[in-house]
Structure 1
Amino acid sequence: MSAAQLKTSSGTSSKNNIVTYLTWVLQLALAGVFLYSAYAKIIDLYTFGEILRSYGILPDSLIKPMAVVLPMLELLFGIGLLIPQTARISAVVIGILSLFFLVALAANWGKVLPFGCGCFGPTEAKPVGWTDVGKDVLFIAMAAGVFLLRRK
């Protein structure tokens, strides 16, 4: 192998290593966020139902089912982010969930929610603002990054 070929091969290998590392960092960070979020909601489904009710978006008949389904989706696809074969589809679902959360937060912009945003379980009452919406924008970007970087 010539010196030029070795240099090109080494540069490509180094770039692939960086992309692989970045992909895993994104996957682990996003999985950690969604697994923690799921846990915080699952340990108190009743309160999570009240958090959903405080958004004023869902009809009462959907509060209980969604209080169970949403954390289970976060748990399932958070785990899916840790498995290379399911990481891309998990990133898509996490991105869609984050988009729904972003829309719910934007619909309540400036409104004081009694449990805060409820993203990680109940917190102090505060108005919905940039921090809350920004988290979901970041999660969507991270999910898009995993989806794009995980392609073969």
Structure 2
Amino acid sequence: MISLLKLVLRLVLAGIFLWSAIAKFMDIFTFGEILRSYNLLPDASIKLLAILLPIVELFVGIGLLIPFTQRIAAWGVILLSLAFAGGLLYNYGEILPYGCGCFGPNEAQAVGFLDVFKDILFIAGAALLLLLNRRKTLA
């Protein structure tokens, strides 16, 4: 049963991060505008981050699918999701022109509880995956 839960967690998180990376790669320019709309970074760093962030998400997604890299990838999920949640909390209640932009551009909407909550779920899923893998090594 634990093996099945680990597999489901890995596949779901990998799917989410791969989907997010691909959506951003499909329109990297607009993703840069999404990042700019958060008003967190200087303009000089937006282009670089717009390229690096989907690459990191892609590696995290792939890493979750490879058994010997899943722990590192799970930490990647936690770190990325903490950063994303921080950006969302900074803009909480603000209307962003592309929505949260988590999976590419969306319609303009205010950042709300559900936007932050999904990152909390990703963190919880990755933490559970780490815990389940730890139990195996302790047993």
TM-score normalised by structure 2 residue count: 0.96
1:92 paired to 2:72: no
Greater C-alpha Rg: 1
Residue in 2 that maps onto 1:112: 95
Alignment of 1:1-152 (within 5 A): 18-151=1-134, 152=137
SS at match of 2:65: coil
Deviation at 1:146, TM superposition (A): 1.2
Give, in whole Å, the separation in 1 of the partners of 2:127 and 2:41. Answer: 27
Structure 1 residue runs of 5 or longer lacking an equivalent are 1-17
1:120 is matched by which residue type in structure 2?
F
Q: What's the C-alpha RMSD, in Å, of the aligned pairs? A: 0.6
Unmatched 5+ stretches in structure 2: none
Residues 69-114 of structure 1, C-alpha deviation per residue, up to 9 Å, x if partnerless? 0000000110000011000010001110000000000000000000
Query: What fraction of aligned residue pairs are identical, expressed as a percent?
Result: 57
Query: What one-letter code is carried by the residue in structure 2 that aligns with 1:137?
Result: I
1:23-81 Cα distance to aligned partner (Å, 9 max, x none): 11000000000000000001110000000000000110110000000000000110000
Secondary structure of the residue aligned to 2:117 is helix
Are the counterparts in 2 of residues 87 and 150 from structure 1 also a CA contact under 8 Å? no
In the alignment, the residues of structure 1 paired with residue 30 and residue 101 of structure 2 have an alpha-carbon distance, to the nearest angstrom, of 9
Say if 1:115 and 1:124, in contact at 8 Å, map to a contact too.
Answer: yes
The whole-number CA distance in structure 1 between the counterparts of 2:51 and 2:7 is: 29
